[in-house]
Structure 1
């Protein structure tokens, strides 16, 4: 198989350079994307791997050009060929530097996007926790208000019962006075008076116990 000549090798290098430019365009799209995954996607990694393969291929082709140039006699070697070889080497170096720059841009964009995403997630979590805490406080406030309503109702009933007992006490006192007056005039009434006195003491004990119970309920729920 014949060894490729200068023109053929240069054509292969130019094709590889054009393919490299296409891959750079693809990588640049990742650098400007607003929806980068946390890790490089298979497509992104394949594009980078293919670029590295193109660099290696171009490096081998440039080495072939250099050997061809070295094999020519000093008289037949043209300045144009030397300039072409130098240009291919410089472009390969530029492309290597460009790959490092684009990879750095993609890494920064990925880090920035996921940092912002983490911050947004933290804010959302904090807001959710605050909302849950506020809801819990509202529920507890509702329970407390309900307890106060029950206590107010119990106290109101206690006051009403106390008022009724007061009316009954006044009535019994009036009846007691009448019975006392009658007892002074009628025999056997003293025994009836003793029973009525016992009933009054029992009512007093019941009233006192109920009021004490109401206050205990009030202090328990407050």
Structure 2
């Protein structure tokens, strides 16, 4: 691995000299901005789809539970009607049977379980794209990849994003708002306060 890194650095240095240092720096800066925009784009999609999947999971569980309860009450009402002649029981049983029918049809037509699965798949795919792009950005900033190689890598990411977008489902506005709040209020990529608990002082850069 060390030899590979040295070889990559050597190749970049040769290419840097051949193309002209200032020109390469300009290309790197432009490419860096493109990759950063790509990261933000797929990052948003990942967050929104993950929250949307949780919403589908909740409603699937709620409707399934409602159907089970309604089916049980309907069955009990039908049995009760055999032994007791009561108008209230008949009306109540018919009403609950309608709820069970509606819940059953919602699960079949709307199919929140399928939508949950699709949303989760989209979230995972965009999470992978985000981390691949972060790795590419790191290589660009460290000047360990040539501009033409970085451009090819970005084109590959864009093509994979297009394929991943086929699995993206329309998100509710509530999910978008929750994603925005979580991203701005959360600390997904900020480990500043946690570093001292995991890394000894003598291994940290800010070991003053």
Output the TM-score relative to the length of structure 2: 0.40
- Which entry has the higher C-alpha Rg, 1 or 2? 1
Higher relative contact order (CA 8 A, sep 6+): 2
